A and B are shown apart, each in its own frame.
Chain A
Amino acid sequence: MVDAAQSMIQPVKARTTRSGLRKFFERKSTIAFFMALPLMLLIAIMVIYPAFYSLHLATLNKSMQRFVGFGNFTFLFKRETFWMVVQQSCFFAITAVIFKALIGFVVAHLVHNLPDKGQRKWRGMLLVPWVIPPAMSTLAWLWLFDPSYSAFNWILAQVGIGPIPWTGDASWARFSVILVNIWAGAPFFLIMYLAALKSVPEQLYEAAAIDGANWWQRIWYITLPMMRNIIAITTLFSLIVTFANFDIVRILTAGGPLDKTHLFATWAFRIGIEGNDIPLGASISLFMVPILAIAAIFILRDINKRGNEA
């Protein structure tokens, strides 16, 4: 009797398990998980593993045979060049992001106020610097700034202005790399700000106009508050990307003259690959993480706060 009862229970159990499995696979979250899995694996292989590996490398001595803990970091803190690179990276990133945001904001307004008919063409054209691979466009800039045959200097010479050492003098070299970064990055701000502008309800401006608000008041009390989150997110994103910039500086100045244009990434490459001191190179590149993490915490906290207020 018991055997017979058991033999009846088993298929029921199997059916229940099968349907449970089916339900599990039919759940939206499961499907979402499996669809995101390739990307998660890609990130794990291409980002998380190298990040932990570089953490491991940063704790080794120069010949990578001995664990030195924070030895590489304490060594860096004593180097004059390291602090110069810290200052330069901050100056480069902050200046470039401010100008990119300003230019993006102004040009977004200009494009927004263009008649719909021609707006698409302008949007397309203004995005060109952002869509060209930076290594390629920087090569073109390199020819424009060439130490001996600069096209800019040729133009300046036509109006009697002497040659400018675009990449030979520390101040001009810094100006040049920042200029190219702004040129390449401003369209990103433009497109983000343009999208934000288009989502501001027109009624708000109409109400402000009835109240007699001028142009500046409309910007200050309507446009900017409505764009705050987009501005914060684009600033954070751009700060991270600009801080970690490699290609523009590497191609234009390779960090020179006298290391005056090095950023963390270019200096890490110089020390780690060209100088074959991989642990120190890894330590330099990791130094970006706490700086960017602090910036991210502040900016994202601000966004969350505003989100909760809303």
Chain B
Amino acid sequence: MPRILSRRQFVAATAAGSAALMTAPFVRGAYAAGKVSIAFWDHWVPGANDVMTKLVKAWADKEKVEAQIDYIPSQGNKNLLSITAESQAKAGHDIFAMPTWWPQAYADQIEPVNDIMEPLIKQNGKVNETVEYLGRAGDKWLGVPATAGSQVKGPCSRIDLMKQFANIDVQAMYPPGAKAQADNWTLDTFLKAAEACHKGGKPFGIGLGETSDSVDAAGAFLRAFGGELVNAKGDIAVKSDAVRQWLEFYKKLISFMPADVTAWDDSSNNKWLVSGNGALIMNPPSSWAVAKRDAPKIAEQCWTHGMPAGPKGRFSPFLPFFWSIWGFSKNKAAAKSLLVYLSQPEQAEAMVTASGGYDLPSFASMTKFKIWAEEAPPKGTLYHYPNPDHLDTWSIAASPAPPKIAQQIYAQATMTKMCVRYAQGEAMEKTLSWAEGELEGFMRT
């Protein structure tokens, strides 16, 4: 005879069952906590992906989660295409390593991670203003700043050539293991050094094409003058004295650089340094790493350091990646657990070490890992790369414009186009009016 449950018994059984389910999300069976798929940026440093795989595997084994990793390269914008496809299909990886503007672009489709970001900030220290600008929409954190792939594109100078032609000792200015002595490292000094090196036949090589490296440099110099193309409120602010000063500065700088900088892409500055032709480029340590492999004599003379100060300070171009969780993810709890694990100092240091010092964590307490002090030759060449004295403000070109407008300014290289137009003889006001017209077009919603 079937047993009939009373109402009380039914309610009690249901409550007990629910409580058991809620309190036991990670039952210790093989892959009991489900599956997580991650799209990481495909690191250019050999071996860096292996370390990432090892870290994820260690977490997955501990948490009994099946983790599936895809490394997606940024060459040919493959990662951007995949992000766009996944957002359209509303299916794909649980976690995606999104570069710079993409968390904001898909803010509506991304799972907020305030519940893990706030404790991480408490634990690891504050994040810089660019991470806040790119990673937060209102009160919603759109991702955890990724260590892997995040980079600063400050200057990398040739010690010997800067001494020989510009009488500047970059090692004394940015000594290894000690505070920077860079008071005299200003935009005026920078311009004089560019002229001296140009006369010496070893010019600075800063691109003015339409790719990221060129745009980043132009944006950082603009901020140093206090200029904005569009302000934080979304108003066009291109016709300002600061922007005019910046254009004048760039016109002079272009005259001291190789004639073909307008055609440079992101590999051109690397080649410029490695070939031994240039005294200074703006890049993360990737070009130094290539020089170490292909032209060790040149690598021995490379020194990575901070930006020159302008009227409004020192601004370094910073390009963070974010590990974001798609709203359609089926295992958000496990995804968040993984991101917390990867954001621990121990894991961050493992990634930085595997990348030869290239990767940059965004948290304030993570700027003094051993690798940056020890990397050589010459020893200490990367010591100032993570901005240990917090002398530079890490910024991204086109900020502080609202991110969706800024992304257009950045992608369409409005800033470098302005510099090239003006340097090629266009009247200042005509260049500014052209830019104003472009910016009006970027305002569409």
Contact = CB atoms under 8 A, between A and B. Distances in A.
Interface string B354-383: 000000000000000000000000000000
Given A148-B258, A165-B260, A168-B262, A257 B444 contact: no
Contact of A63 (B102, B411, B445): B445
Nearest to B424: A258
Contact of A61 (B260, B264, B445): B445
A163 B278 CA distance: 18
Interface string B262-274: 1111001001100
A123 interface: no
Nearest to B106: A276
Interface string A201-235: 00000000000000000000000000000000000
Contacts of B108: 63
Nearest to A259: B417
A150 B336 CA distance: 49
A79 to B, nearest CB: 6
A258 B424 CA distance: 11
B101 A276 contact: yes
Interface string A266-309: 00001101111110100000000000000000000000000000
B436 to A, nearest CB: 12
Interface stretch (B77-85, B141-149, B180-188, B243-251): B77-85
A80 interface: yes
Contacts of B417: 258-259
B189 interface: no
B240 interface: no
A255 B84 contact: no
The contact size tier of chain A is: 20 to 34
B70 to A, nearest CB: 19
Contact of A148 (B101, B209, B268, B404): B268
B306 to A, nearest CB: 27
B102 A276 contact: yes
A147 interface: yes
A258 B77 contact: no
Interface in B78-133: 80-81, 84, 101-102, 105, 108
A129 interface: no
Most buried by B among A173, A256, A277: A256
Nearest to A273: B80
A265 interface: no
Interface string A144-167: 000111000000000000010111
B242 interface: no
B255 interface: no
Given A80-B437, A168-B259, A168-B262, A276 B210 contact: no
A75 B441 CA distance: 8
B263 A165 contact: yes
A61 B421 CA distance: 31
Given A75-B444, A254-B211, A276-B105, A147 B407 contact: no
A81 B210 CA distance: 15
Given A62-B445, A147-B268, A168 B263 contact: yes
Contact of A270 (B262, B412, B441): B412
A167 B261 CA distance: 10
B344 interface: no
A181 interface: no
A255 B209 CA distance: 10
A238 interface: no
Contacts of B258: 147-148
Contacts of B259: 163, 165, 168
A173 B260 CA distance: 12
A253 interface: yes
Contacts of A274: 77, 80, 411
B401 to A, nearest CB: 14
Contacts of A63: 108, 445
B81 A257 contact: no
A256 B263 contact: yes
B408 interface: yes
A173 B84 CA distance: 30
A267 to B, nearest CB: 10
Contacts of A273: 77, 80-81, 84
Contacts of A278: 84
CB-CB nearest 6 A-B residue pairs: A168-B263, A147-B260, A275-B411, A167-B263, A147-B263, A168-B260
Given A148-B258, A167-B260, A257-B263, 18 more contacts: A62-B444, A63-B108, A81-B438, A148-B272, A148-B275, A168-B259, A254-B209, A256-B209, A256-B210, A257-B210, A258-B262, A258-B417, A271-B411, A271-B412, A273-B77, A273-B81, A275-B412, A276-B105
Interface of A: 61-63, 75, 79-81, 147-149, 163, 165-169, 173, 253-259, 270-271, 273-278, 280
30 contacts: A61-B444, A62-B404, A80-B434, A147-B261, A147-B264, A148-B268, A148-B271, A149-B271, A165-B260, A165-B262, A166-B263, A168-B260, A168-B263, A253-B263, A256-B210, A256-B262, A257-B262, A257-B420, A258-B420, A259-B417, A270-B411, A270-B412, A273-B84, A274-B80, A275-B408, A275-B412, A276-B84, A276-B411, A277-B408, A280-B444
